[in-house]
Amino acid sequence: MFQLFLVSDVLISRFGTQLAALHTLVLALLGPFALSKRLNVQWKNLLRYAVVTVVVCGISVAGTVFLLGAAPEPDYTKYRTFAQKDFLHDSVLVKGIKPLSMESLQSNLKLPRLQIIKERGVIRVGYMKDTLPLAFFNSDGQLVGLGVELAHLLARELNVSLEFVLVNRETMAMALNDGRCDVVVSGIVATPQHVQVIDFSAAFMDATFAFIVQDYLRHEFGSWEDVKKMKGLKVGLPSKSPCFTALLREELPQASVISLESAREFFTDQQRMIDALVYGAEQGSAWTLIYPEFAVVVPRPIPLTAPVVFPLPLEERELADFVNTWIALKKKDGTMHRLFAHWIQGQETGEQEPRWSIIRNVLHWVK
């Protein structure tokens, strides 16, 4: 196949060279004939050729439009592939996925949390809505994602089962500290404000500052210099990304910042009242699989990143040390790299069937 493409490229290149040479020769002949007044223009023939050219071009354009309109639209498979994703590793027993209980368990927390988890035989894992690709429900209704798979691996390390609890940003700290959940796997960016109310693990990945815009606008947001020149810019900022607030205010003080409950509000906004969404490039890539008319843009010249961590209960040093050591080991043995490639970059570990081609399947020139 490569050889055929190479031959066709060579032929087209040589034809273009010959055409350019012929064009130069014609101009060289026309000039002297015109100066010597020996150039005879046959307007009737010229007009006939012009009409024929216009008709042929019109038929070609109309035929192309008809063929493009009649051809079936290509099947967009990336979202389907993403929605069908499953774990790379074996999962552990999940005893339930439920909303957050309103009853505080503070009175039962007389022992270190790590010891309570082991004696209970269950680790309670919090997750948030709309936190692709860290936690989401796939097409089979199974809770999956990078953070969720890490929760399964952590539970296996502790030799306990799992219980998932739906939390939000407002209830997360209280739920962690009063025992209703032990760790949150949707991932947040650590900020100094978090230190006052919760603890957090070592970073297991980075969030790269990015704009998510309609695909045809991606070049306009390619550099900070271009973005800073925009007038009347309206930027959406999900409540789950407060880490980027200060950076946004510093870099784009002229922009109007609109707070969003979820990134989904930006993608489903039919009126397009917001020009761009500020989001982590890694998480944003998953949203653009669902909404392919949008693109992730990391503005130049220097990518700005922030650490993504797992929220943990405050002053539970044993649990934090265990989780941090576990994260370090998973980075060293390549587990984090494989999971990042699977959930963030969309790479598949299995061998994919090569595309059908005449050379392979009919002529059998290659295997």
Q: Note the pLDDT of residue 350.
A: 46
Q: How far apart are CA 166 and CA 173, in angstroms?
A: 13
Rounded CA-CA distance 166/97 in Å is: 8
Task: Please check whether residues 294 and 226 belong to one and the same domain.
Answer: yes
Residue 338 domain flag: yes
The verdict on 261 and 119 lying in the same domain is no
Say if residue 290 is in the same domain as residue 156.
no
* 199 and 334 inside one domain: yes
7 occurs within a structural domain: no
| Residue 199: CB atoms within 10 Å | 20
Same domain, 163 and 281: no
User: What are 333's two structure tokens?
Assistant: 């043995």
| DSSP letters for 341-362 | HHHTS---SSPPPPPP-HHHHT
Residue 195 and residue 92 share a domain = yes
* Sheet (strand 122-127) strand order: 94-99, 161-166, 122-127, 183-184
Specify the pLDDT at position 4.
41
Domain-located, residue 361: no
Shared domain check, 58 and 112: no
Which of 319, 316, 283 has its CA nearest to residue 128?
283
Q: Does a structural domain hold residue 103?
A: yes
CB 311 within 8 A of CB 184: yes
Residue 77 lies in a domain: no
Q: Do 136 and 232 lie in a common domain?
A: no
Same structural domain, 257 and 290:
yes
Q: Report the distance separating Cα 250 and Cα 85, nearest Å.
A: 38
Print the domain residue range for 61. Answer: 13-68
Q: Identify whether residues 195 and 321 lie together within a single domain.
A: yes
Per-residue pLDDT of the chain (367 residues; tens, 9 = 90+): 444 444 445 556 666 787 777 778 777 777 777 777 777 777 777 788 788 888 888 888 887 777 666 555 555 566 677 778 889 999 999 999 999 887 766 656 788 999 999 999 999 999 998 888 999 998 888 999 999 999 999 999 999 999 999 998 888 999 999 999 999 999 888 777 777 889 999 999 998 999 999 999 999 999 999 999 999 999 998 875 666 777 788 888 889 988 888 888 899 887 788 999 999 898 898 889 888 999 999 999 988 888 999 999 999 999 999 999 999 999 999 999 999 999 988 776 544 455 555 556 555 555 6
> Which residues contact residue 329 at a Cβ distance below 8 angstroms, ignoring those fewer than 6 apart?
none
61 and 179: one domain?
no
Give the total number of structural domains in the chain.
Answer: 3
Please answer whether residues 124 and 180 qualify as being in contact, where contact means their C-beta atoms are separated by less than 8 angstroms. Answer: yes
Q: Which residues contact 196 (CB under 8 A, 6 or more apart)?
A: none
The span from the CA of 324 to the CA of 321, in Å, is 5
The CATH code of the domain that includes 242 is: 3.40.190.10
Q: Is residue 78 part of a domain?
A: no
Per-residue CA distances from 67 to 57, 61, 71, 322 (Å):
15, 10, 6, 62
- Distances in whole angstroms, Cα of residue 109 to Cα of each of 74, 160, 208, 311: 56, 18, 37, 18
Q: Do residues 200 and 318 share a domain?
A: yes
The contacts of residue 251 (CB under 8 Å, 6+ apart) are 224, 228
Q: Which two tokens stand for residue 268?
A: 């489903």
Residue 151 within any structural domain of the chain: yes
Q: Which of 297, 168, 287 is nearest to 235 (CA)?
A: 297
**Distance linking the first and last C-alpha atoms of the chain:** 12
- Beta strand 183-184 with 161-166 is unpaired
